[in-house]
Every structure is written in C-alpha cells, then in structure tokens.
Copies of this chain bind each other. A is one copy, B any other.
Amino acid sequence: MKMRGLKSGLLVAAGLGLVASAWGAESLQDVMKRRNLSQQDLLAASKTYVPTGKRDEFLAFSSGGQSGQVIVYGIPSMRILKYIGVFTPEPWQGYGFDEESKAVLAGGRIDGHDITWGDTHHPAISETDGKYDGQFLFINDKANPRIAVIDLRDFETKQIVVNPVFKSDHGGAFVSPNTDYIIEASQYAAPLENRKFYPLEEFNEKYRGGVTYWKFDRKEGLIDTKQSFSIELPPYSQDLSDFGKGPSDGWSFTNSFCSERYVGGIEKGRPPYEAGCSAKDTDYLHVINWKKAVELFKQGKTKKINGHDVIMMDTAIKEGILFLIPEAKSPHGVDVTPDGKYIVVAGKLDTHVSVFSFDKIMAAIKAGKFESKDPYGIPVISMQETLHNQVELGLGPLHTQFDSKPCVAYTSLYVDSQVAKWNFCEGKVLDKISVHYNIGHLMTMEGDSTDPKGHYLVALNKLAIDRFNPVGPLHPQNHQLIDISNDKMTLLYDMPIPLGEPHYAVAIAADKLKPGIRYAVGTNSRTDKPSPYGVRAGEEKTTRTGNTVEVWGTAIRSHYTPETIEAEVGDDVIIHMTNLERAEDETHGFTVGTYNVHMSLEPGKTSTVKFKADREGVYPYYCTEFCSALHLEMQGYLLVKPKGWKPEANTTMAKAAYTEDDYKKQLKKIADTQAVIDSVVAYITSTNYKDFPDVVAMVDDAFDQAGKIPDVKAKHEAAAAKKDWENACLWAEQVWQYQVKTADLGLRAKTYLEQNGAKKIK
C-alpha cells in the first residue's frame, strides 16, 4: 500500500461525482401510497420544502423559554438555524466560557449573584418608523428581570441589563416605533426597594408593579441605563405591553391580571392564587403617555429607588400620564393594530376580544370623563365608552396579531386549541382552525409592526402530547405553520421545539437581514471593537509577568501558534487567540482539557480564556471545530510544571530517521499534487466563475492557502541544503498540507460550477 497522491483520487472524483444526479426508482404516486400521504399533505409539503441551497422567506426569532436562549428558524421550512446564547452559558458559541462573553453575562449579575439561566419571554426586533429594520433583537428574562440586546449583524448577545426595581417581569421587550425605548413591565408585585421585606398583609400598601422604559442608543447598539426610567404602578400583576404607533404614537399600553390584589396561601387554608386572582370579571388596561413621561424624567420629577429614576404614581396621576380602563379578565395580549387606531385585548378567561378605540380613549381623557378612580387614585376610563367593538371568538382568547390585509386579525384560543381569524373593524369572525394543542402566543410575519406581511402564521402551542415520536416524559413544544394567504387557513407543518418552551416569537422578511460572515481580524465580537489582544501572523508571543503566563496566539488551518504553553503550578494562565481565517464558515475552536474553558473563533475573532493552572501535569489543547483534513492534528500541550522545575542538561527532542530519499518522495508528491491543482485552476478560470460570488470566495480562500506555500517551501529548501532531512521532509509535508487545503477548495468550487451551470468563457 502506498500513498498514491491526489492525482488518481481526483480522477475518481471527477468521473463518478456527476452521475449521482440520476433519479431514483419510486414515482411520486408510489411514495404517496407507501407513506400514506393525501393530496393535502403533498400540497403542504410543496409549500414548505426548501431545496438544498435555497433560502427561506422569513426568519423567526423565538424566545427559547426556560433555556434562556433565542431560537432562530426559517419559514416556511421550519428548520432551526441557530440557538443564540443569551442568558444561559452555551459552550458551542464559547458563550460564558471566554472572557469577552463572560463580561456580557456579568452585566446580568443580580445583587452579586451569578445568574446562569433565564426564562426568556418576548423577543422584539428593532423598528424604524414602526417597520422592522432587522438591526437588533431584544428579549427579556421573566425569572430574573433583565433585558438582553442581540446584534443581528452577527447574531451575538452584546448586553444584559438588570431591572433595578422589579423582582420579576413579563411584558417586555417591546419597542417604540423608532426603537428609542424598550418597554419592560413587572409581573408579580413586590417592594420596589431591593433587599426589603414587607409582610403580605401590607401587600396593598407596600407591594408595587411598574413599567420601565429603557433608552436604546442605536449608534452604540446598547441600552443607556442612565437615560432609562420606570413608572410605579399598583400591585396588579402587569402583564404584556405594546407601544402605540401612527396616531397612538407616544402612548403605551400594559394589561394586567389579579387586579383583585389577591394573596393566596393554600397551605393556610386560603383559596389558591388561581381562584382569588380570577374572581372578578375585569382587570385593568394601563394607558400611559410615555412621551410625556420622558419629559417628566428629564425634568427630574422622579424618585431614586435603588439608584434608579422612578416616576411615582402620585406624580404620574398629577401630571396626567396614567389611566386605567377595565378589560375582560386575565388577558394576556394587548396588541395595537397596524394603523395604530385600535388596541386589541383578549381576556384569557373570557370568550371575547375587546377592540378599544384610541380616539375614544383620547376623547375621554381630553374631556376628563372618568367613571371612577382605582384605590390608588388613578383615573378609570369607562370600558363601554372606549370600546370600538367586542367579538366573541371562543374559549381562552390570548394573543392577537395582524395580516397584511386591512382589518384582518388572528387570535389564539388557548382552551379551544384554535386560531380565530376575524375582522377587527367590523367585529366578525372569518374562519377558525384547530391547532395541537393549547396555543399560547401566535405570530404572523412582521405581524406586530405597522406593515404586516401576511402569508404565514405560526401557532406557538404549549402542548404537543401525541404529535411526535415520543422522547420521554418531557415533550417538545409544537410550533404549527399555518398558511393564511387564502380565505381559509390551512395547516402546513408541525415543528417540534427541541429545547425550551418558547413564549413568544417574531418573524421578519429574510431579505431585511444583512448579517456579516467575518470580523475584521482581531475583533472583540462582544464590543465590536478591536481587541487589544488581537495579533496577526508572526506577531504571536508568550510572556510571563510574576505568576501570570499570557499568550497572544493565532489559529489557522490547521495549527495554533504556539503549540506549547509552559506554566508552573499555581500560575494564572491567560490565552488570547485570533482566528486568522477570512473564509466563510472557517471557525476554529479552542479548549484546554479539564480547565473548563472554550472558545468559538469565527473568522477574524479574538477571544480570551483565563484559568489557574492549579494542578501539575500535561494538558492537551486542541481545535474543537472540524476545520480541515488535518483538524485532529490541530493540537498543542499546556505543560504545568512543578515550581522551579529545570530540564536536565542535554535533553533533546527525539529525532526521526528521515533520509534524502524521503525528501525526494515528498518533492514528487508535491509536484504531482501541483499538477492536479493546476488542472483544477485551469478548469475554473476557463469558466465564468466570477459570476458566482460563492465560488469567488472559495477561489480567494484557495489562493490564500496556496499563498502560504512559498514561505514554507523556502524552509524545506534551506533544510535540504543543510542536509537536515527531518526538517526538509516535514516542511515539505507542510507544503503538501497547504496543497491539500487548496485542492479541497478548488474541488468544491469546481463541483459548484458544474452543478450550477457555469459557462465556458475560453
């Protein structure tokens, strides 16, 4: 057996690769019969199947629920493209395992405690003029009231801010029409002061809810906590929120449950919260003039609580920025129509949706016409006088989103396990469809913006029960894709959610997103600024300062520089790595065995890991992303020596017995391989390959790999001149490694051109 080089392999590849496109034996009718598919099933399949290399029309950003992550999936294929690490450390992305991302997570520490998860609820995409602009994503954590900012240029979490006054949240994130503010509403009432206990007997007096308006600095891509403020609200379990738009711009709306202010205590014989919190027919919709609230904040009409500016209820009432309207009980959604004229509230324990008229609300406020005040003195506007209409939809109406067609809305019905399509202008039901099962939120395409896109609706069902192959007691969720382009809704697809129970999701037209595929070399991706630790090839170094060993290293197919890191027991080790690659998808990983660190180094990124080398020993490090045929050999050793250890004199690395003949064989292999590369290059350059951007990128990358050869060639020739056959052979081998990587890319480019109809141009 001999290594026969690349040449014959290439011929095999070229000869047989193409016949594989011949088609299989079964006809469509055979398949439908065998798989027991109906015509409807086939139509649904045809509406959702996305062939290889083709793109989805919309991208959905879904809360990852208790996974603490954000889920990104394509519509209509319903394929999950990414879980973005947000509140929970995630090692694939190095999130929480490198220092740059640890700094982001540290922003989410609460009162000195690390929080290593989140209960993500409501994602929101940044808007310009009320339309999704695809630049940023925001999402809240209900369990530990926080908001995270994700940059959609690289799909990375850049910031986590802790709500300074709430003890839980729910109704966030939602953005104002130009994303100047992000709203976050509390959920379970508690004292606003931190580290302050009041007994439940003082619930009405000392426990409070609220809403926070976070100022977003679009240029920095960060929330500006100093320019953010909250409004104190009664202890009503504030729930969801929405910003007004168009005519209602400047106002925000927040609904609530348990406005009974009931305190349970089943262990003491009291009826449980679920009984006491749903006893009355109505709860309260909070109507807030947030633009005026911003003015009050700027005028300093706030009280500092935990160092944060809070507009107290008394001030809000006095200044006329806070009103209540009764709403059907225990609602979950409050949704402003795309035209900004109406506010739709679904009472989860009622059978109706209520459509409130913003004009009527304004008229009542202007006229000072209030039916009462709540126990805290907040003016209550009459429900009847502000209703545009009320529509009986079914059991458990929960959340409403909108169609591209005027006046058409969709509301989830939790108890009925249905989606209702209805006309909110005329107040009539248009259609219903069953879902499986117990739908929570629903999502239409850009359906909470001023410019909904129609086409699809996703039902975020809370129970899957029997829909999928069983995978144990803990079931996936079921997101069902529904076609809403016709009068009748039709079910297209059942999509299991494999991790986390998404609460809410938003979907944007895919062509609005323009994410990057590489960073400027040496970028700290979490700050989007040059890392002080980035180096270029040849600048790598290792330093020792006191008990700290610090490495400025690089990664490229397929070796690290350095390949050895030496430390003494007890040293602090700091390793910076820069990925020198420019090619799309050429990510490298880095870990040091048993030291619980990991980096994901996308092209250009610089990351840092730190740990204490507290145990003598030998610890391999290696690349955790399969990056080339030599991936497994992308390795090194961290050597942790006893304090003061010195090598014995005259120890040298073992020598292998390489001969001049070995070197000649290497040269022959290199020459053979070069001939193959030349023929592939000749093929590629004989076509209109420049018309294919993906191929141009591959060719660039191939030339990049080939461009590394001259330096290494000089090394093997210099060694050969000195008859150092070991170094001559090994550096020659390294030339061949670069040739293999060059050929890999060239072959991929060739196949691409053959399969995509490239034309001969010479």
Contact = CB atoms under 8 A, between A and B. Distances in A.
A92 B67 contact: yes
A124 interface: no
B41 A8 contact: no
A422 to B, nearest CB: 10
Contacts of A587: 473-475
A517 B275 CA distance: 29
Interface in A99-138: 110-111, 113-119
A472 B150 CA distance: 12
A594 B144 contact: yes
Contact of A72 (B203, B471, B637): B471
A734 B579 CA distance: 61
Contact of A13 (B35, B394, B542, B595): B394
Tell me the number of copies of this protein: 2
A292 interface: no
A635 interface: yes
A263 to B, nearest CB: 6
Interface stretch (A312-320, A624-632, A682-690): A624-632
A93 interface: yes
Interface string A261-295: 11111111011111111110110000000000000
A79 B294 CA distance: 47
A651 interface: yes
Given A20-B489, A83-B498, A384-B1, A594 B275 contact: no
Contacts of A510: 469
A576 to B, nearest CB: 14
Contacts of A619: 167, 190
| Most central of A19, A52, A463, A496 by chain B CB within 10 Å | A52
Interface in A310-361: 326, 328-330, 332, 348-352, 354
Interface in A470-496: 470-476, 480, 483, 485-491, 494-496
Contacts of A51: 37-38, 41, 44, 494
A615 B562 CA distance: 46
A429 interface: yes
Interface in A603-624: 603-605, 615-620, 622, 624
Given A24-B488, A119-B591, A272 B743 contact: no
Nearest to A76: B35
Nearest to A275: B734
Interface string A718-750: 000000000101110110010010011001100
Contact of A80 (B415, B498, B503): B498
Interface stretch (A53-61, A174-182, A244-252): A53-61
A78 B468 CA distance: 12
B639 A200 contact: yes
A274 B631 CA distance: 8
Given A168-B622, A491-B52, A498 B271 contact: no
A401 interface: no
A216 interface: no
Interface in A385-403: 387, 390, 392-396
A498 B71 contact: yes
B41 A432 contact: no
A351 B9 contact: yes
Interface string A1-17: 11111101110110011
A446 interface: no
A406 interface: no
A643 to B, nearest CB: 11
B272 A744 contact: no
B415 A473 contact: no
A562 to B, nearest CB: 4
Interface in A139-180: 142-145, 153-156, 167-168, 170
Nearest to A523: B473
A432 B394 CA distance: 56
A237 B632 contact: yes
Interface stretch (A220-228, A297-305, A364-372, A436-444): A436-444
B92 A267 contact: no
Contact of A617 (B191, B476, B513): B191
A12 B434 CA distance: 13
Interface string A200-213: 11111001000000
A640 interface: yes
Contacts of A219: none
15 contacts: A17-B418, A48-B49, A52-B467, A110-B594, A143-B598, A196-B616, A197-B645, A202-B651, A267-B542, A271-B734, A274-B559, A274-B734, A462-B626, A469-B510, A472-B515
Q: Which 9 A-B pairs have the closest CB atoms?
A: A45-B49, A9-B351, A473-B602, A267-B562, A155-B472, A91-B117, A188-B620, A272-B559, A271-B730
Given A200-B637, A266-B562, 4 more contacts: A13-B416, A37-B46, A52-B494, A89-B117
